[in-house]
Structure 1
Amino acid sequence: MTALTVQGLTKSYGAVPVLAGIDLHVPARTFTALLGPSGCGKSTLLRLIAGFADPDTGTIKLGEQTAFADGRSVPPQRRRIGYVPQEGALFPHRTVAANITFGLPRRHRRSGHRLDELLDLVGLDQAIARRFPHELSGGQQQRVALARALAPEPELVLLDEPFSALDTGLREDTRRAVASALRATDATAILVTHDQAEALSLADQVGIMRDGRLAQLDPPATIYRQPHDAHIARFLGDAVLLPAEVTDGAATCALGTLSVRTSNLAGPAEVLIRPEQLLLHRTGSGPTATVQEISYYGHDAAVRLCVQPEGIGVTARLSGIELPEPGSTVRVSVTGDVLAFPRDRA
């Protein structure tokens, strides 16, 4: 497998800019997830990498091969890229076996060895090879689509929201199987998704796209704990953002005086607190809050609070084992340090 390097990539459709200068590096044998709101250019970027359309400017390199530069483009079939679209796009009139082996040389299709290997790789029983796509579940269809993409041993695999049409339980099982198959083949892969949990749990690095640009690219833990700005903090996971005043590495806000990771910031700011950092106590010191509402999810719960005396609303995420009663009064504390952003960047 090989690395991908994209530099200065732009794309417009008529007078509408879609990509405004994308720089992206995906190391060989790694999994990158791209997150962003609808219309930010995620799928367009994947199509340009695959060669289905050409950028206006910029370069695309697959290892040492230049796939696009100076208006010259290597055709898709010569880029050795596997592509898995949202709906799988299997041939309805072909069996699973014929779908998977479609892009293989005839001698490999006849032997059946590669077919058996790929079915095993994506966690499907050999008997499924004789079925047609309409006889499969959505999760099985996506695994077949991945097996087809992996069959010619591509240099890079692109996945364009392949799990979005699946229900919750099936989506979890399918994405685990897909991630396992990609890692087993040492594939270099890029996943476009709207699912934040999916991106954080599967990827080696996560890219946040906004307004046709890559706003941040970092490992999952870094991008969650240290977003570059308040917009990313709000977009990636639940975020409590409170107005604060920062002095000497400490932020004073409605939840008290908190230790700040950004030591070079001073003055008006917004502090980022993740809901799991909020702890509730029946007694003791700390700001007082009224429990307004509880959303129970089984394994955990979102507890919405009104902090007194300011009346600021915040949400804490707690274990679902022992929860306060709606209407009760609790004390609130914050565990760990927080991140602060200049208030005019929010």
Structure 2
Amino acid sequence: MKGRWWALVALGVLVLAIVVVAATTYLRPQPSSLPLRAVGEVDLPGGSSRFDYASLDPDRGLLFVAHLGASEVVEVDVRASRVVRVIPNVSQVHGVLVVPALHRVYATATGRNEVVVLDEDTGQVIGRAPTGDYPDGLAYDARRNAVWTTNERGGTETVVDAATGAVRGTAVLGGEVGNVAYDPVADRMLVDVQSRNELAVLDPTTLAVTRRIALPGCDHDHGLALAPVQRQAFVACDGNARLLTVGLDSEKVSGTANVGRDPDVLAYDPGLNRLYVAAESGWLTVLDAHGGQPVVIGSGFLATDAHVVAADPLTHHSYYPVPAGTTGHPALLDREPAP
């Protein structure tokens, strides 16, 4: 009787293991060759701590990287493959956004609940503005010259005048907030409300939520990128490793794809119509967005903590800051599309 009981226990453990493996396999893309070729690697200063968002000025070839663990913004000349400068004392910096037309960089200092305004040319701090709780991602509304700051825990967006740095107002989302993006064609803001699994549509003038787009099949929508001309929104669901495509005109989910576990930052290259999804698990998924529905053309493990990506629309290179490159020190990985 005792032997039979242990056999049943062993069988139960085996069945559970099979279910877990099957579920894990289902929730991530099957490994395949990434359609990329290594071009180079730039050593980055600071310790091997977490990096967060990165933002590129493609005309000048300047990439701004948030080194969260060091509370620094690192400026890299990607054409010359060298670090230009390090901007210190941006407390627990998460988001970073360069606006080339203004020669300014905006960074969220999560440790102080503020957005910091930097001079792109000199790296000097030229302004600070208070935000809500836990500022993270950023977006720029060129029509109103306004910067939107996502306050993840506060469930709000702080809207800042891009020229003066003054706070213009606050938008209330009614739940924990993910990323934000501006749709220039329809002149509206889109915001992930990740605790409600929906996209909120906001009037950028009144800051009011005008409607909400349901995201069936998504668990905790955090990442967000737009292809305005193609009228598509790409939403990364970090709770179940899914990428959803949402029609910007239909406001409905038009497709899904499996991506790496814990997807975080998305980058869209409009010239190639290609989407990059970087995940906390170190997996990168590359999708071809031609034809209205993104198709996975490659996926695989890139590097530990390679959850950040920026794409250059001019050269089509993609960049990944990681705590440990091939030498074991912080590095910026440079990749180009494979022929």
Higher RCO by CA contacts (8 Å cutoff, separation 6 or greater)? 1
Query: Which has more helix, going by share of residues?
Result: 1
Whether these two folds match at TM > 0.5 is no
Question: TM (normalized to structure 2)?
Answer: 0.25
Question: TM (normalized to structure 1)?
Answer: 0.25
Larger radius of gyration: 1
